[in-house]
Each structure stands twice: as structure tokens, then as C-alpha cells.
Amino acid sequence: MPRASGPVCISVINMKGGVGKTTIAALLARYASRTLGLNVLAVDLDPQANLSQAFMRDGYKRFLRDQAPSIVEIFSGHQPPTSKSAAPSTLDISDIVVSNTPLGGPRLRVIPSRFDFADNLMSSIGANPRVLANVIANNFQDMDIVIIDCAPTESIFTRVAYHASRYVLVPVRPEFFATIGFPLLNDSLDAFRSSNRGHVIDVAGIVINNSSYHYSGNRGGPERERSIGEIGKQAKENGWFIFENQIPFSRGFPKMMRGDFKHTGDADLFSHFASEFFQGLEIQKEGD
């Protein structure tokens, strides 16, 4: 059954790139749909379209070849002429959503992105930052969770994500310059709240992604420990929670993103963070 109040919408974002946003967004969405039995919408709001490729895999090439509609058409508000249609046509959201993907399964739906997303937005005048929020409000109230994979930039993409979100999840790697994006993100959120006083948006927390380090337990060398200290200091200054369960280093994560869940090693420990994350949002398994 869908949530009475509609879905819980979460953006996975950090103004610093290379922190594992897409992997975390994809595996959280998969965990919610396959392990918790929730109805999940995954939105690819990144022009690199990595989330779309992860979920659709070989189907993504077919999606591009068929000129299928995507998040690009959500912003434009119509389906442009294609090889199959000689004139612009009305946009049907059901034509955009990709269902039953190899990685996600039957309870997960995807709004895919395309590589020309950024070019389309740059060439448009006055792109509506509330367009995704409107689409979710009007078409996806039957979902339990919406997870939005965001681009690592302060841009129209960021504002679109904020307008559609109740929570923000911040992945970070414990490395040099780990917190470089924190002040920008904090300022960005404060500016959004100031301009949208009726909109409540909170940082759900910081998840430490140890994908840069081969380590055992809490060990990882002095640089990692120094970075952990800096992350803790910045989090305290901003009033941001840090999840107890960190994401371990594992060669299993690339395999999982390819759909290979055999012999994934420490990557299975991702479920500990996922469980803590959804429990913190008071989102439980269907029937609990």
C-alpha cells in the first residue's frame, strides 16, 4: 500500500564529485525495493546518466537508439518530433518511466537521463525549478520512496532536486579535500530555505564511503583518520548527523552495479548502512 502522505523524497548530493553518489543512490533504491518491498522511483538528475545506465544496462543503448523520452522531455514539457512522429506531441509520463529494470526489479521505476540533458537546459530560458516536484506530486503519490541522483554542481539541477526533496543524503570519502563541498552545500540549502520558507528540507545525514581505502575495521592510516576528524568537525558545525554504519571498501561494488551479486565480499555490508538509513527515516518493511 502506498504511504498515506505520499512518498518520502531524498536527494543524494555533494558539491564535490567522485564521492560515490550514483552507486549509493542505486543500491539504496535497490535495497528499498527488493529488501524492504517498497515502491521506489529513482530519478536520474545528472547529465552523465550513470544511474540510468546502471539500472537499464544494455537497455540504455536501446533507449538512446529509440529516441525514447527522458528527464529532458519533462523539462521541455512535450515530446519533440522524432523518426516516428512528424510533429511535437503531448508528453505522457508513463512513456518516460522505465519499469522492471535488471538491477531494480518489479517494484522500482526509473526516470532516465540523457547525455544532452545539460545542453537542453543551458539553451532553455527560465527552466522551471519546480518541474520535477510537480511531476512527483501529480503522478507518483503511489510511491513509497523517491531517490534522486544529483549532479555535483550548484546549478538549476540543484534547485530542481531541492524543490522535489524532503531530505538530503550527503556521501563523502575520507580523503584530502573531503569537506570541500560542505560549506557550499550548507550555504546552498540555507539560501533555498530562505527563498522557500514553506518548504522543509533537512540533511538526513552524512555517509562515509571508504571506497578509496583498503582497510579493516576502523583502520585506514593517518590520512583517513585525519579526514574523518575534519568531516566530524564540519558536520558538528553544520548540525549534520553522521551515520554510524560506514560503507566499506570492496571490489564487489562495481560487480553489483553490473548486476553480479555473486561473491561480492564486503560490499554486502552496504545493507547495514541501508538499514540504518531507512530506519532513521522511519520507513519500514512492508507489513511491519
Q: Give the architecture (CATH level 2) of 8-280.
A: 3-Layer(aba) Sandwich (3.40)
Per the prediction, the chain carries an average pLDDT of: 87
Confidence of residue 115 (pLDDT cuts 50, 70, 90): confident
Name the residue with higher pLDDT: 213 or 236: 236
**Over 70: is that where the pLDDT of 217 sits?**
no
Confidence of residue 278 (pLDDT cuts 50, 70, 90): very high
**pLDDT number for residue 276:** 97
**Over 80: is that where the pLDDT of 288 sits?**
no
**Across 25-34, 92-101, 161-170, 173-182, least confident range:** 173-182
**pLDDT number for residue 82:** 72
pTM above 0.75, yes or no: yes
- What value does the mean pLDDT take over residues 30-53? 94
- What value does the mean pLDDT take over residues 48-59? 92
**Over 60: is that where the pLDDT of 287 sits?**
no
3-class DSSP string for the chain: CCCCCCCEEEEECCCCCCCCHHHHHHHHHHHHHHHCCCCEEEEEECCCCHHHHHHHCHHHHHHHHCCCCCHHHHHHCEECCECCECCCEECCHHHHCEEEECCCEEEEEEECCCCCHHHHHHHCCCCCCCHHHHHHHHHCCCCCEEEEEECCCCCHHHHHHHHHCCEEEEEECCCCCCCCCHHHHHHHHHHHHHHCCCCCCEEEEEEEECCCCCCCCCCCCHHHHHHHHHHHHHHHHHCCCECCCCECCCCHHHHHHCCCCCCCHHHHHHHHHHHHHHHHCCCCCCCC
**pLDDT number for residue 120:** 55
**pLDDT number for residue 139:** 95
Confidence of residue 214 (pLDDT cuts 50, 70, 90): low
**pLDDT number for residue 220:** 61
- What value does the mean pLDDT take over residues 86-115? 89
**pLDDT number for residue 235:** 94
Confidence of residue 1 (pLDDT cuts 50, 70, 90): very low
Confidence of residue 85 (pLDDT cuts 50, 70, 90): confident
**pLDDT number for residue 218:** 47
**pLDDT number for residue 285:** 54
Domain boundaries, the chain: 8-280
**pLDDT number for residue 256:** 87
**pLDDT number for residue 119:** 62
**pLDDT number for residue 212:** 62
**Over 60: is that where the pLDDT of 121 sits?**
no
